[in-house]
Structure 1
Amino acid sequence: MSPRVRACIGLGANLGDARATLRAAVTALAALPETRLLQVSGLYRSAPVEAQGPDFLNAVACVETALAPNALLQALQAIEQQHGRERPYRNAPRTLDLDLLLHGDTVLCTPELTLPHPRLHLRHFVLAPLLELCPAQQHPQLGALQAWLPHVADQALQRLPETLWTPS
């Protein structure tokens, strides 16, 4: 059996019924093979960064998984496809965006996948929900992610009074 690691996944959507899509994505994450959903942050609203379109709804989910990074990425992309994800251009509005942010302490840079996610410390809509779940989260190369929060504080972000998942 493969060793299990904690992986963190960013969720975002700004087209269609974003709340319903994000809830369905959380359910799909919980159903992934060799994976257990551990926690899901609260729901956040953010303006698009380097993009156009309606505001995004965002969250972060943490899983424990035996899937290797590329296998987990493929599974996330399959979930995106099931929800009509299209990639007409960089930062296009989307029905669902699932970003593999962290996979244990893996540091990886391939044409398909960079870990940790190369912009996770530069986006308020990623840092705030990630730090909600893991306040002491360390980046394998940058150290404490909490230290990056002041650098993104000018990016508008609103914590909404609802959740996408309740542990059973």
Structure 2
Amino acid sequence: MSVALSAADLFSAAILLEEKGARFYSEAAARFSGEGKKLLSGLASMERVHAGRFRKVLEGLPQAGEMTEEKESYLRMLTGDRIFTPEAEMEKRDAYGDILEKAITVEKNSVFFYTAVKDSLAQSMDGTAVDLLIREEIGHFQSLTDALQRWLERKGEA
């Protein structure tokens, strides 16, 4: 499928992605208490902040015309199972470490997506907002990796 996307389209996709991330982390946080709940709730909050930041960027962009069904479908595909892969879906039996592993996968996929978005925007606008978000997503990856390492050490598996 070859769909011409504008910067506004890409930021719309990013908003969908960040909202999905907030739901993912909120659902994960509801399963735990203590340090785990705090980490996952904090990540949910950060994802909501990212969505808000992208809404502000989107408000300042020229709209690329009508959102067609084809464009909307393509944007949903970009932010759907390419980032939140089937392997990242939470299951009832998932332990804290499993959730962290799945979140790490989501963050890696997000960094890839935002890097591709930045490259797409390079010709049409400043990628500063995307650069900031990439750094924050890498920070999420590091926080999750550190939390997983601590959890494995407590379990005697590291």
Same fold (TM over 0.5): no
Structure whose CA Rg is larger: 2
Higher helix share: 2
TM-score tier by shorter-chain length is: under 0.3
Q: With structure 1 as the length reference, what TM-score do the two structures score? A: 0.26
TM-score (norm 2): 0.27
